[in-house]
Amino acid sequence: MGEWVLKKWLCAALGLLMFGMLAAGCGNSGPKKIVVGLDDNFPPMGFRDESNEIVGFDIDMAKEAAKRAGLEVEFKPIDWSSKEAELNGKRVDVLWNGLTITEKRKENIAFTKPYMENHQIIIVNANSPIKTKADLAGQVVGTQDGSSSVEALEKEEAVLKSFKELKKYGDYVAALMDLKAGRLGAVVVDEVVGRYYIAKKPGEYTVLNDNFGTEEYGVGLRKDDKALLDKLQKAMDDMKKDGTSGKISQKWFGAEIVK
């Protein structure tokens, strides 16, 4: 009789334990966290400030969109040249850091609607004799490895072949520093980054009238994350309508440049 009571008690206790675990699980079904992959040396889109905090235009946009979508957000610096592997390997959930929409990238990435236009500009030192694309012949030209600048240059094969060398850097800032030091003749860079950087160093650089084309930025997700894409897109649409994205744009660019 005692053994039967003990078994009955154990079964009841086990049942209560399982119920408690299920209830706890239901109670903890808070907002899902998304991990945003970024290049943390890409001002003003995403970079580290004097306190080593990750800040920037895209950071503010992502925080606001995530909040509206009921999501927590974590920002994770990644090797930008390996961004597709990071995304599809599920080490990050979203690529939000001045990511250019290209046909090649669309093969592996699902994009939101474009939220900003960008140009691939050519920056030279202020005293440079280089005035046009044609003057880049025989020059060492720098850009960021894995960036859309590389793709833009590859589209103009004749110009690219005229370079002495196309030198690829881990980030645009390193390339611009080498330009200043005289190790490069020019840097091809995303306009938002280039103009932000040179505005801080007036009189040191010149932007040529020639460029390597216009492109659009979008937020990148895995192709099977349709529900997350729809959530973020709705949040971004609402931010545009109510003027929030315009205010964030004014903060970082001094103008409303969001599409």
Domains of the chain: 33-115+218-253 (3.40.190.10), 118-214 (3.40.190.10)
In residues, how long is the chain? 259
The whole-number pLDDT of residue 106 equals: 96
The whole-chain average pLDDT of the chain stands at: 89
Taking only the tens place, the pLDDT of each residue in 134-185 is 999 999 999 999 888 999 999 999 999 999 999 999 988 899 999 999 999 9
Taking only the tens place, the pLDDT of each residue in 90-125 is 999 999 999 999 999 999 999 999 999 889 999 999
At position 142, the amino acid (one-letter code) is G
**Taking the CA of residue 187 as centre, how many other CA atoms within 13 Å lie in the half-sphere pointing to its CB?**
32
Q: How far apart are CA 7 and CA 13, in angstroms?
A: 10
pLDDT(13) > 70: no
pLDDT(3) > 80: no
- Encoding tokens for residue 226? 């349709």
The whole-number pLDDT of residue 199 equals: 82
pLDDT(194) > 80: yes
> Would you place residue 24 in the very low, low, confident or very high pLDDT band (cuts 50, 70, 90)?
very low
List the Cα angle 169/157/42 in 5-degree steps: 25
Q: How far apart are CA 40 and CA 36, in angstroms?
A: 11
* The pairing of beta strand 220-221 with beta strand 110-111: antiparallel
